[in-house]
Amino acid sequence: MLKDTQSERDTRRLPIDRAGVKGLRYPVQVLDKGGSTQSTVATVQLTVDLPHHFKGTHMSRFIEVLAAHGPVIHVENIRDILEQTAKRLQSSCAHLDIEFPFFLEKRAPVTGAPGLVDYTVRFSATLEKGKLDFTATAVVPVTTLCPCSKAISSAGAHNQRGHVTLSVRTRKPMWIEDMVRLAEDSASSELYSLLKRPDEKHVTERAYANPVFVEDLVRAVAQRCARDRNILWYRVEAENFESIHNHNAYALIEKKAKRRG
């Protein structure tokens, strides 16, 4: 029998919060709001807590758990994956983090020309003593136009692309499309992959009519989150990739929703 070094005792009495596999590419399927299933590829991190008396964990068992669920991860079987991971690794707590591109077809605002826009989505789940904690995150590219630049300039105003990173805990699952829309509606303008000249004129003028600082942006997203009874907790970040500075502008709000009757 081959020696099982990972199961040997460690005498340093230092438990490890997370040990496992990271950077694993794996196919996933995500249900969109229209009822279709979108197939994409995720980067997966699957870990457990490691008690102080174990020297190491068995990395192969993480892959075995994933393989046992077939060639595709579904959102619906995340709890089962975590339960099986904790059981196989003899741990009280298991974590699954997956990040993947999610695509939406968007039509240009004037001509209606179709194009695909990709959004980075992350699901983070922890199962501890039978309780599941699940967080969904969407990174949404937007356009912002500087209110200060508009106010002091006799012609034009500087604008830039930025990212809104919205994370939520909810009573029931929240559609990725709704997270995207919530962020885009708070910006100077949303982004598109395909714009003809009439569309470009429309987007440019819309952004000029709706100037926002990063502070305005996170506050607007936060207000929308606070009005959504499904959202229990949110964290919203905005980062502008400044067009006339050699630094970025950044703001963040994190809050737990107030109790509602």
Domains and CATH numbers, the chain: 14-256 (3.10.270.10)
Rounded CA gap, 204 and 215, in Å?
Answer: 21
Q: Can you give the pTM of this predicted structure? A: 0.92
Token code pair at residue 101: 């591109």
Least confident of 54-63, 122-131, 136-145, 247-256: 54-63
| C-alpha to C-alpha distance for 205 and 178, rounded to whole angstroms | 25
The pLDDT-based confidence of 53 (bands split at 50, 70, 90) is confident
C-alpha span between 250 and 213 (Å, rounded): 9
On the CB side of 116, how many CA atoms lie within 13 Å of its CA? 5
Question: pLDDT tens across 180-229, in order?
Answer: 999 999 999 999 999 999 999 999 999 999 999 999 999 999 999 999 99
Give tens-digit pLDDT for 57-77: 888 999 999 999 888 888 889
> Each residue of 236-255: b (16+ CB within 10 Å) or e?
bbbbbebeeeeeebebebee
Alpha-carbon distance 249 to 217, whole Å?
A: 11
